[in-house]
Amino acid sequence: MIDHRKLGRELELFCSDPLAGAGLPIWLPAGAAARHAVEEYVYERQRRAGYQHVVSPPLGKRELFELSGHAEHFGEDMFPPMRMSPDDELVLRPSLCPHHALVFAARGRSYRELPLRIAELGGMFRSERSGVLGGLSRVRAISLNDGHTFCAPGQLVDEVCRELEFIRQAHADLGVRASGFRLSLRGEGAKFVDDPVMWARASDVLRSALHRAGIAFDEAPGEAAFYGPKIDIQVRDDAGREQTLSTVQVDYGKPARFGLSYVAADGSREVPVMIHRSMVGSMERLFAHLIEVHGGAFPAWYAPVQLEVLPLSAEQEDAAWAVHRSGVAAGLRAEVSAAGSLGARVRQSALRKVPYAAVIGPREAASGQVALRLRDGRELPPMPVAAALEMIGGVVKSRSFDLSG
């Protein structure tokens, strides 16, 4: 069984330290390099999809989360407030929605701006019990790939379909394996906002979008967010436990709570509907899944080190560093490994799941060539350095899963 915690330790992707606290992992250089590559991808995809990125703080006044309904319906999952003075309390935010509602409210809005898509890769917190914490899959400090679309009611189904397609494309690029789509509905109890008409309308929108997209799904009563139903895209870990990765939610309630409105085509004031969505979930949960799905051998485009240069002996070290410089200049994450026997270094490189090892012996050094060994054991005939870098660059750029291009 593949356990992301064990692989994460062996590949030095992240570590946990009791002194830092449970559920508060630290991303080591290799894990951070892979995560940054994925974050750049997320930003790029969102920009192309018409999202505008914002940056908002991971904590805010308690009143902000009272207005949003989190304090009432989600309070048990929040950390205790920090009291600065009797009338000034700050809380670590349990979600980004309230700040994004304030982005909408930052100036007057017209129907011409809708759908208005706001995105952020931002921090939020969840006061999980220490017993359920583990590795990256359940943490207390979360970096969420979040987005909120403010739109007119008539735009909802189109927007939800668009998000579902967007999510499927991202999963294909990253190698995420979804185990199923779930329509999470309201259940019994005070956890859920009491507005039956709103729940029925929002559930119908999501059901229509799933049907139109031709996606098979299960219904799960009681699994909705407190403010509305959601489509959850589930992944399963190697032990068979299911978790939600990506999600699309329809929310008729929060815009009214925040007093949001826009000027409609006829000059009247209308309240927008809010779609909450996450393309790939939190960076923590995403990587817990990616580490297990790929067995630590990430596709070249987000591998922590993409090219490891291995000189046969000390005489080829200058040539190795020259290849390293060219690789870095071409935008690759490259390293030189010169200590120890070549066999041991080749084995070490494969154990670290580095996609490309470039071996340089006397012949290669003299002719400006490298002999590439791929992580899967294949060996390519010697080729000019420029050709090798171009091939690797092409695999990275196209986000191909096939290392030979």
Residue 225 CB, shortest distance to Zn ion, in Å, is: 8
CB 275 within 8 A of CB 161: no
Please give the helix or strand (H or E) that residue 342 lies within, else none.
Answer: helix 342-351
Indicate the residue among 13 and 118 with the shorter CB distance to Zn ion. 118
Residue 254 binding Zn ion, by CB under 5 A: no
Beta strand residue intervals within 152-226, DSSP E: 180-185, 218-221
Q: What share of the chain is helix, strand, coil (3-state, %, to 5)?
A: 40, 25, 35
- CA pair distance 160, 232, nearest whole angstrom: 12
What the block records as the tokens of 300 is 């070249």
Indicate the residue among 93 and 373 with the shorter CB distance to Zn ion. 93
Residue 97 CB, shortest distance to Zn ion, in Å, is: 3
Residue 247 CB, shortest distance to Zn ion, in Å, is: 9
Q: Which stretch binds Zn ion (CB under 5 A): 177-185, 254-262, 272-280, 371-379?
A: 272-280
Residue 383 CB, shortest distance to Zn ion, in Å, is: 49
Residue 276 binding Zn ion, by CB under 5 A: yes
Bin 99: left if φ > 0, else alpha if -120 < ψ < 50, else beta: alpha
Indicate the residue among 95 and 155 with the shorter CB distance to Zn ion. 95
Indicate the residue among 100 and 353 with the shorter CB distance to Zn ion. 100
Q: CA of 188: how far to CAs of 96, 114, 193, 194, in Å?
A: 26, 34, 11, 10
Residue with tokens 């002996």: 313
Indicate the residue among 25 and 122 with the shorter CB distance to Zn ion. 122
Indicate the residue among 54 and 322 with the shorter CB distance to Zn ion. 54
Beta strand residue intervals within 222-368, DSSP E: 230-236, 242-251, 262-263, 269-270, 273-278, 307-311, 334-336, 356-360
Residue 202 CB, shortest distance to Zn ion, in Å, is: 14
- Window 80-99: residues binding Zn ion (CB under 5 A): 97
What the block records as the tokens of 343 is 């066999």
Residue 251 CB, shortest distance to Zn ion, in Å, is: 7
Residue 352 binding Zn ion, by CB under 5 A: no
Indicate the residue among 276 and 373 with the shorter CB distance to Zn ion. 276
CA-nearest of 401, 346, 400 to 377 is 346
CB atoms within 10 A of CB 201: 17
Residue 214 CB, shortest distance to Zn ion, in Å, is: 26
Q: Which stretch binds Zn ion (CB under 5 A): 14-22, 191-199, 274-282, 374-382?
A: 274-282
Q: In degrees to the nearest 10, what's the CA dihedral of 325, 329, 332, 337?
A: 10
- CA pair distance 199, 194, nearest whole angstrom: 9
CA 112 to chain centre: 30
Indicate the residue among 109 and 148 with the shorter CB distance to Zn ion. 148
Number of residues lying near Zn ion (CB under 5 A)? 2
Residue 62 CB, shortest distance to Zn ion, in Å, is: 18
Q: Which stretch binds Zn ion (CB under 5 A): 52-60, 153-161, 276-284, 315-323?
A: 276-284
Indicate the residue among 213 and 250 with the shorter CB distance to Zn ion. 250
Residue 100 CB, shortest distance to Zn ion, in Å, is: 7
Which positions lie near Zn ion, rule CB under 5 A?
Answer: 97, 276
